[in-house]
Amino acid sequence: MPKLSVVVPFYNVRTYAPDALRSLGLNARDDFEFLLVDDCSTDGTSGLLERAARELPGAVLLRHERNGGLATARNTGLDAARGEYLAFLDGDDWLAPGHLSRTLAAIEALSCDFVRTDHVSCTGRTRSVQRVPFGPEAVVADPRTAILPADRATSVDYPYAWAGMYHRRLLERGLLHFTDGLRTAEDRPWIWRLHREAASFAAVGLPGVFYRRGVATSLTQIGDERQLDFIRAFDQVLAEVITDRDSALLLPKSVRTYCAIIAHHFGSLERFEPAVARKLRSMSTAALGRMPQDVLDRVLDTMDADRAALLRRLRPGRRLPSGAATR
């Protein structure tokens, strides 16, 4: 059994894949395997992966016959993974030399279910370190304690699957697979489930993943209908939280996050195609109607005025703020 399996999906990232593959080579060990998932690329990425499969130590090439999206590609890699520990990388990002060995040493020393790492956000030549929003470092904790408070960024708001490492027992419990077919926000149900159901975790710093922002082919930059999968992703979060033993405590956080993401998309409405913008509006209205209305009332009362006003305009029936007089 390999010590570590790294799942790396690729889709039409010919410009960036060489950086990712080179960085894997600078992290390679005899007991590591790299599961390179070609999600039906059409731009020459496939040729780069074929070469890597021959030259990169530990590389295994997996191919999709049709494009399935990031969630499905990660699942393909997970299904083939043999390692005691698992990690992720996206095909347009890269790793610092030795990052995987350092992270592996940290999770083995702490003997916990998973660790979360800081990362370096890269926009052009600009670099900034993004920290895991959890205070104690290298201290094993109950992942549930990192979900709240509702009104502050917490570990579930840092959903990046590649910012960490995970013990195989989580895979065997069904906690590492993603919702098949989600094209965006695929990591939101995943990170919530991980924090609700895993037994232990730690934040360990180690900012060795370089996350490339502003990639033209990334879904975060494309305003087509695939962006609207965030609705399905957060509906799943809500449905699972509602059945959780601590639902009364966790619902305000999940509703507030859902509302914040809706407001975020309306803040950059110009990037959407007109038909998609109209669909975003109707789907957001329906989503607000599906939320527990008493919880939504409380959340809107505590959000900043601009976002609360936007969400109230979208809300079915357009309820007035709590305590407001009717005319």
Contact (Cβ atoms closer than 8 angstroms) between residue 41 and residue 73: no
Assess if residue 325 is contained within a domain. no
Assess if residue 121 is contained within a domain. yes
Within this chain, do residues 108 and 233 fall inside the same structural domain, yes or no? no
Assess if residue 134 is contained within a domain. yes
Q: Where a domain ends, among 220, 244, 275?
A: 220
Assess if residue 93 is contained within a domain. yes
Closest CA to 205 of 98, 116, 316: 116
Within this chain, do residues 182 and 283 fall inside the same structural domain, yes or no? no
Contact (Cβ atoms closer than 8 angstroms) between residue 58 and residue 34: yes
Dihedral of alpha carbons 219, 226, 307, 309, sign: positive
What are the respective helix, strand and coil percentages of the chain, to the nearest 5?
45, 15, 40
pTM across the whole model: 0.93
Contact (Cβ atoms closer than 8 angstroms) between residue 87 and residue 6: yes
Within this chain, do residues 190 and 289 fall inside the same structural domain, yes or no? no
Within this chain, do residues 138 and 216 fall inside the same structural domain, yes or no? yes
Assess if residue 90 is contained within a domain. yes
Within this chain, do residues 153 and 177 fall inside the same structural domain, yes or no? yes
pLDDT band at 215 (very low <50, low <70, confident <90, very high): low
Assess if residue 188 is contained within a domain. yes
- Total domains in the fold of the chain: 2
Q: For the domain that residue 171 is a member of, what is the CATH number? A: 3.90.550.10
Q: Is 145 left (phi over 0), alpha (psi -120 to 50) or beta?
A: alpha
Closest CA to 264 of 211, 290, 227, 319: 227
Contact (Cβ atoms closer than 8 angstroms) between residue 106 and residue 115: yes
Within this chain, do residues 143 and 283 fall inside the same structural domain, yes or no? no
Within this chain, do residues 204 and 269 fall inside the same structural domain, yes or no? no
**CB neighbours of residue 227 within 10 Å:** 22
62: tokens are 């997996």
Rounded Cα gap, residues 265 and 287, in angstroms:
14
Question: What's the confidence (pLDDT) of residue 321?
Answer: 52
What mean pLDDT comes out for the span 3-21?
98
Report DSSP state, residue 186: T
Q: Which domain holds residue 108?
A: 4-220
Report DSSP state, residue 142: -
Question: What's the confidence (pLDDT) of residue 283?
Answer: 97
Assess if residue 327 is contained within a domain. no
Q: What average pLDDT does the structure give for the chain? A: 94
pLDDT > 90: what percent of the chain? Answer: 89
For residues 228, 230, 231, 236, the Cα torsion angle rounded to the nearest 10 degrees is 150
Within this chain, do residues 33 and 108 fall inside the same structural domain, yes or no? yes
Within this chain, do residues 48 and 186 fall inside the same structural domain, yes or no? yes
Within this chain, do residues 12 and 97 fall inside the same structural domain, yes or no? yes
Question: What's the confidence (pLDDT) of residue 222?
Answer: 56
Q: Where a domain ends, among 198, 220, 242?
A: 220
Rounded Cα gap, residues 318 and 295, in angstroms:
15
Within this chain, do residues 201 and 304 fall inside the same structural domain, yes or no? no
Q: Where a domain ends, among 205, 220, 235?
A: 220
DSSP string, 267-301: HTGGGS-HHHHHHHHHHHHHHHHHS-HHHHHHHHH
126: tokens are 């600009």
pLDDT band at 326 (very low <50, low <70, confident <90, very high): very low
Contact (Cβ atoms closer than 8 angstroms) between residue 194 and residue 164: no
Assess if residue 66 is contained within a domain. yes
Question: What's the confidence (pLDDT) of residue 312?
Answer: 97
128: tokens are 């900034």
Chain segment 44-65, per-residue pLDDT in tens = 999 999 999 999 999 999 999 9
Chain segment 93-135, per-residue pLDDT in tens = 999 999 999 999 999 999 999 999 999 999 999 999 999 999 8
Within this chain, do residues 8 and 150 fall inside the same structural domain, yes or no? yes
